[in-house]
């Protein structure tokens, strides 16, 4: 197995991002395969017992067991870290495994986490239910209110946790200001960057310490595999994350890593084409409904902030149907091109009713406080022709009105 130029950080960091996404991280065997080999192996063997001992001690380079690492994971992690501008990364089995590990790895009973209240349902569950079980205090605040971050800090606050744009309301949080507040108080900022993707927003450039993804979304982008990624600095990885990762078994499966690594070759093209479509869809739906959200729309309340920290407005369009759940269900049932599903970032457009699915685990009162109403539709715009999507949505809206 030869390590190709694609793993040499010195060389690859001089490449343009598009070239990195196609070539960085690649390892090629002596056979010279064009598409990377798939290392579908649970463990690795050693020439000698001394070599096994040395690899376990960390004195010798090399793989030991795929719960700890595997060449397919290394390839994906290298490519993702370069794209994010991070020193290193760890691929996890799911996005939720990434979020959970990024929090639990470094926290102890008695610590405090300050989180934005607008989080993906399972992330809210981590803060509201899981961490307190282990004696970790948590508070959630309105993440758009910088004073609330300042006032929410306690002497034992170790982590700030947020998501921007938020799923599903597209609420935007000022990354740079929140990172500054976290650092002034000795806390780390962990950002769930799923909605923005590393193509449109790089939170580390604005001060985030740890950035997490559900790679299930745009990074696979074709609805095939689950996965997650934690990007961070080497010191935190070695001292905090890796011991947790290897002992708790949250690693990504090699097959999924192989798939995602390959998908990254088209990530930039897909995300930009989806943004083109999303902008057209948002404009067309805004002609029909009062409450339509996408950062390119002038009616989007946080447009300036969104576009100051994101390269483009993203691939999600959110709208409110005034007739509540009944109208939302009629609309969903009338769609003929887009699917009713709960994934996002897929090449196929997906319409979701967060109230009854992805965010149902959050208490009703909290959902309403977050703006997740029974009439809210989250539309993940895919790669179909924009005119077909617009016709599908407008026809379904007409049917839902009848």
Binding site for ligand PLP (CB under 6 A): 94-96, 99, 120, 122-123, 163, 167, 192, 194-195, 214, 216, 226, 228
Q: Which is nearer to ligand PLP, 94 or 144 (CB)?
A: 94
**Alpha-carbon gap, residue 133 to 269, rounded angstroms:** 43
Q: Which is nearer to ligand PLP, 195 or 355 (CB)?
A: 195
Q: Which is nearer to ligand PLP, 327 or 352 (CB)?
A: 352
Q: Name the token pair of 168.
A: 């599903």
Total Cβ atoms within 10 A of residue 236: 19
Q: Which is nearer to ligand PLP, 178 or 386 (CB)?
A: 178
State in angstroms the smallest separation of the CB of 218 from ligand PLP.
11
CB 211 within 8 A of CB 231: yes
- Helix extents (H) in 201-323: 234-236, 242-248, 254-263, 267-286, 303-309
**Nearest Cα residue to 380 out of 393, 396, 367, 364:** 393
Q: Which is nearer to ligand PLP, 152 or 227 (CB)?
A: 227
State in angstroms the smallest separation of the CB of 320 from ligand PLP.
19
Residue nearest to ligand PLP (CB): 95
State in angstroms the smallest separation of the CB of 95 from ligand PLP.
2
**Secondary structure element (H or E) that encloses residue 80, with its range:** helix 71-84
State in angstroms the smallest separation of the CB of 213 from ligand PLP.
8
State in angstroms the smallest separation of the CB of 168 from ligand PLP.
8
State in angstroms the smallest separation of the CB of 226 from ligand PLP.
5
Q: Which is nearer to ligand PLP, 122 or 268 (CB)?
A: 122
Q: Which is nearer to ligand PLP, 120 or 160 (CB)?
A: 120
State in angstroms the smallest separation of the CB of 94 from ligand PLP.
3
Q: Which is nearer to ligand PLP, 20 or 355 (CB)?
A: 355
**Secondary structure element (H or E) that encloses residue 317, with its range:** strand 316-320
DSSP state of 65: B
Q: Which is nearer to ligand PLP, 74 or 193 (CB)?
A: 193
**Alpha-carbon gap, residue 300 to 294, rounded angstroms:** 6
**Alpha-carbon gap, residue 314 to 317, rounded angstroms:** 8
* Beta carbons within 8 Å of 19's beta carbon, 6+ residues apart: none
Q: Which is nearer to ligand PLP, 123 or 390 (CB)?
A: 123
Q: Which residues pair with 251 in a beta bridge?
A: 92
State in angstroms the smallest separation of the CB of 4 from ligand PLP.
29
- In the chain the first and final C-alpha atoms are separated, in Å, by 64
DSSP state of 136: -
**Alpha-carbon gap, residue 199 to 229, rounded angstroms:** 15
CB 212 within 8 A of CB 190: yes
Q: Name the token pair of 290.
A: 């009062």
**Alpha-carbon gap, residue 48 to 65, rounded angstroms:** 16
State in angstroms the smallest separation of the CB of 204 from ligand PLP.
18
* Beta carbons within 8 Å of 109's beta carbon, 6+ residues apart: 134, 135, 136
State in angstroms the smallest separation of the CB of 360 from ligand PLP.
13
* Integer CA distances (angstroms), 311 to 25, 88, 174, 263, 266, in order: 25, 23, 15, 21, 18
């Amino acid at each position: 197995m030869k390590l190709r130029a694609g793993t040499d950080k010195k060389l690859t960091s001089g490449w343009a991002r598009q070239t990195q996404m196609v070539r960085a991280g690649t390892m090629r065997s002596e056979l010279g395969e064009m598409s990377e080999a798939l290392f579908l192996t649970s463990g690795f063997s050693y020439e000698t017992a001394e070599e096994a001992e040395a690899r376990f001690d960390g004195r010798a380079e090399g793989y030991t067991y795929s719960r700890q690492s595997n060449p397919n994971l290394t390839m994906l992690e290298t490519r993702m870290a370069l794209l994010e501008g991070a020193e290193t990364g760890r691929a996890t089995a799911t996005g939720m495994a990434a979020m959970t590990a990024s929090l639990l790895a470094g926290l102890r009973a008695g610590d405090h986490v300050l989180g934005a209240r607008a989080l993906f349902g399972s992330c809210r569950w981590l803060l509201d239910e899981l961490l307190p079980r282990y004696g970790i205090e948590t508070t959630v605040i309105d993440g758009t209110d910088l004073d609330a971050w300042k006032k929410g800090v306690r002497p034992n606050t170790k982590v700030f946790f947020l998501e921007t744009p938020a799923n599903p309301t597209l609420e935007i949080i000022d990354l740079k200001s929140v990172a500054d507040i976290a650092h002034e108080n000795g806390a780390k900022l962990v950002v769930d960057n799923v909605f923005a993707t590393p193509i449109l927003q790089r939170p580390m450039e604005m001060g985030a310490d740890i950035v997490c993804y559900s790679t299930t979304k745009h990074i696979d982008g074709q609805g095939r595999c689950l996965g997650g990624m934690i990007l961070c600095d080497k010191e935190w990885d070695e001292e905090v994350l890796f011991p947790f990762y290897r002992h708790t078994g949250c690693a990504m499966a090699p097959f999924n890593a192989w798939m995602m690594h390959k998908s990254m070759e088209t990530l930039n093209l897909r995300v930009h084409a989806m943004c083109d479509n999303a902008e057209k869809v948002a404009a067309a739906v805004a002609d029909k409904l009062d409450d339509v959200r996408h950062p390119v729309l002038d009616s989007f309340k946080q447009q300036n902030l969104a576009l100051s920290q994101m390269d483009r407005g993203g691939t999600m369009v959110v709208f409110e149907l005034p007739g509540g759940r009944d109208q939302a269900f009629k609309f969903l049932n009338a769609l003929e091109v887009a699917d009713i599903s709960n994934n996002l970032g897929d090449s196929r457009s997906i319409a979701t009713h967060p109230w009854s699915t992805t965010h149902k685990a959050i208490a009703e009162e909290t959902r309403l406080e977050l703006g997740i109403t029974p009439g809210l539709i989250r539309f993940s715009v895919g790669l179909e022709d924009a005119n077909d999507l617009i016709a599908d949505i407008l026809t379904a809206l007409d049917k839902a009105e009848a």
